Structure 1
Amino acid sequence: MSSKSAMAHENGSSIKVQAMQFAYPGQSPIFADFSLQIAPGSRCLLVGANGSGKTTLLKILAGKHMVGGRDVVQVLNSSAFHDTHLVCSGDLAYLGGSWSKTVSSAGEIPLQGDISAEQMIFGVEGTDPERREKLIELLDIDLQWRMHKVSDGQRRRVQICLGLLYPFKVLLLDEVTVDLDVVARMDLLEFLQEECDQRGATIVYATHIFDGLETWATHLAYIQEGELRRVEKLSELPELKSFTNLLSVVEAWLRSETKLEKKKPVSTTTSNPRSSPFGSSRHMAYYR
């Protein structure tokens, strides 16, 4: 299936990217004419080698970088960058790989310093008490944890709890389960599947850990050097009929990349990176 092909859905798309172009200031374009559609209720795995553009794509979808016009990157039929109510309302949630300077749906919250898990979690206003208690139990969080003394995995649990306190409509996950043990990870995936099945939420999950995802995910999007190579329903992925698991399929794709000639960098001639049409508004994204 070509990169222009979409995850078609009769009820529209939760995420729609049309002919997107993007580069960081002074660097070669990461994306050029990139298009993608993801249907409501999907649990889409975003796979690719390190440096393929997965994290950048998730940040763009999260509204952390401005690209093109208002219609280029649409989340829930709104501009991911311009319509700040998406994040403020909690409808759009993003959880990235770093816990030390994470951004939850409640804003910038450092997970360091002598502060308790209880202070952090109960300090988020406007949350549903039942949902909060469910997440605390699900993630096995001790409210007396002091955030400067606990392990990376325990900090990660608090980060995830903060990011899920509001009932999101679109959730973007970037390697957030890397520090979790097997039980915590599987319990979290089960909770996220319920969010999709019961509320029609949409999840895009970038990860290199594929255990148990063959039955969890509904779709897969494979990115290679900023180009969308595959977009398919996981149940219709032909390679899964000959490979033992999803890990073997992705491994084969990534190994085949090493045999291909790398794209040559595109020289940038503009003296002012911000004047480039590919430019990133990172100074504005800081406040998001």
Structure 2
Amino acid sequence: MNAPAGVKAEAAAATDAAPSLVISNLNYAYPMGEKIIKDFSLTLPPGSRCLLSGANGAGKTTLLQVLAGKTMVPTEDVRVIGRPPFHDTELTCSGDLAYLGAQWRRNVGSAGSVPLAGDISAGKMIFGVEGIDKNRRADLIDILDIDVDWNMMRVSDGQRRRVQICMGLLKPFKVLLCDEITVDLDILGRLDLLNFLKQECEQRGATVVYATHIFDGMEPWMTHIAFTSDGKLVHGGKKEDVGDLKGVRHLLSTVYDWLVVDRNDRKEREKLEKANPKPKSSLESRFGSRHMAYYR
């Protein structure tokens, strides 16, 4: 899928345009809770592909949900294509800002979270989306190796994931946020998807923020990196500007070293917190936890 010379020139010019994503000293905490994101700042230009990495609980999913406009922060803290994602709903309605989460599930009573499924074919779901370029749709069905006759009640997790990804990418996006979307894909499907996203960035000047713990093929794919620890951006920016990545052929070894430091720092923080526990608030003392205090 090679782009015409004019499209390539337009995408190249986009790199000199206004940033696609600007995060300015972002802080975020859930109600009655500790800060999950702390003084986080990052700027990404059009055409960039940013790997978002960090240990479990480092705040990656929360950050992506904030960027996707799923939770409110001050308008000046986050700008996507120059607009605040929570307050400007047209960003997501238009498809300019797209979010693909790790789960495609629903909550069903006492059964808890179950996979989203129904007695419907993959084709009916995909072709049921109106106003889609038929060539783009055909490319995605081919790239993701989807059988339009799949019954969504009988597919595997990996096949269901392919349909989810296809539907999420049907509309051309300007900024795409991906949260562990390839965990159920095989190697071929994963690399084909990464190649498609790379073409979207190079040919249309789109921007992708991609959170994953799978690093095969990521070093040549990414243009930027954001490694988080305790809710803070510890290593971030253009990959060539991150000292620890210079001359590195295997990204995994570098991220492993960062994760070891992160784990040691976390253990030290936990020791200090146990030695110097914070006093409970009056509401927390009354209801047993900050969570229950909030909901009472």
TM class by shorter chain equals 0.7 to 0.9
**What are the equivalent positions in structure 2 for 1:248-267 lying under 5 Å apart?**
248-260=253-265, 261-262=268-269, 264=273
Q: 2:37 aligns with which of 14, 25, 31?
A: 31
Are 1:71 and 2:87 counterparts? no
Query: Which of the two has higher C-alpha Rg?
Result: 2
**Alignment gaps of 5+ in structure 1:** 1-8, 103-109, 273-288
Are 1:183 and 2:188 counterparts? yes
Q: Take 1:247 and 1:179, find their aligned partners in 2: how far apart are those partners?
A: 20
Q: Take 1:42 and 1:18, find their aligned partners in 2: how far apart are those partners?
A: 18
TM-score with structure 1 setting the length: 0.83
SS at match of 1:11: coil
Q: Take 1:156 and 1:247, find their aligned partners in 2: how far apart are those partners?
A: 25
Preserved contact between residue 171 and residue 204 of structure 1 (Cα < 8 Å): yes
**Alignment gaps of 5+ in structure 2:** 1-14, 108-114, 285-296
Per-residue deviation, 1:262? 2.3
Q: 1:20 aligns with which of 19, 26, 30?
A: 26
Q: Take 2:228 and 2:126, find their aligned partners in 1: how far apart are those partners?
A: 35
Preserved contact between residue 121 and residue 162 of structure 1 (Cα < 8 Å): yes
Are 1:226 and 2:266 counterparts? no
Aligned amino acid, residue 53 of structure 1:
G
User: Structure 1 residues 20 and 270, CA, compared in 2 at 3 Å: closer, same or farther?
Assistant: farther
State the match for 1:58 in structure 2: 64
Q: Take 1:267 and 1:154, find their aligned partners in 2: how far apart are those partners?
A: 49
Q: Take 1:209 and 1:266, find their aligned partners in 2: how far apart are those partners?
A: 37
State the match for 1:131 in structure 2: 136
State the match for 2:147 in structure 1: 142
Per-residue deviation, 1:99? 2.0
Q: Which runs of 4+ in 1 moved over 6 A?
A: 265-268
Preserved contact between residue 28 and residue 267 of structure 1 (Cα < 8 Å): no
Preserved contact between residue 235 and residue 242 of structure 2 (Cα < 8 Å): no
TM-score with structure 2 setting the length: 0.81
Q: 1:97 aligns with which of 102, 109, 114?
A: 102
Residues 32-73 of structure 1: CA deviation (Å, up to 9, x unaligned)? 332221111100000100000000000000000001x22221
Per-residue deviation, 1:138? 0.7
Q: Take 1:212 and 1:42, find their aligned partners in 2: how far apart are those partners?
A: 16
The structure richer in helix per residue is 2
Deviates further, 177-186 or 255-264: 255-264
Are 1:83 and 2:88 counterparts? yes
Per-residue deviation, 1:75? 0.4
Q: Take 2:116 and 2:202, find their aligned partners in 1: how far apart are those partners?
A: 31
Identity of aligned residues (%): 55
Q: Take 2:282 and 2:83, find their aligned partners in 1: how far apart are those partners?
A: 31
State the match for 2:168 in structure 1: 163
Deviates further, 112-121 or 232-241: 232-241
Per-residue deviation, 1:101? 4.2
Q: CA RMSD in A?
A: 2.1
Q: Take 1:173 and 1:266, find their aligned partners in 2: how far apart are those partners?
A: 36
Matched residue pairs, number?
256
